[in-house]
Structure 1
Amino acid sequence: MSETAWKVKQPSRYGGTRTRYFRTRHDAYAYAPFMEDFGARAELTEVPATEVTEYTTHPTGRADS
């Protein structure tokens, strides 16, 4: 497991925010424009991998199985 992870946070269309975690910067950047297509401005942040309990790997946001 890598030492860092990437957090993608964007506003939910129902209020509040939605946060997803990715193992690689590439996956996080692939997901962010997908969400912006729906008008949700994504915020990307590098975080320690120890803070993450569940990762999202699919660019559309499906969680690891």
Structure 2
Amino acid sequence: MDDQVHSQTLSLHLITNMQWRVTWTHFIVFKMFIDLKLWLYVMRMFLVNKYYDYKVVINYKRKCS
């Protein structure tokens, strides 16, 4: 009787542990995905701004000369 209860508890523990691990993996993947999107967005903003600044400078130089 006691042994049976113990095995049930153990299996339950294993199941919850598995679920937790899956959730954790999902969380990590999701976080990486979010970080990547954020990073790409920031990079794009940065590049667009740089490009825009560059164009402004070029146009300004053209006007001055």
TM-score by length of 2: 0.24
Q: Which structure features the higher share of helix residues?
A: 2
> Computing the radius of gyration over CA atoms, which structure comes out larger, 1 or 2?
2
Q: Which structure features the higher share of strand residues?
A: 1
TM-score by length of 1: 0.24
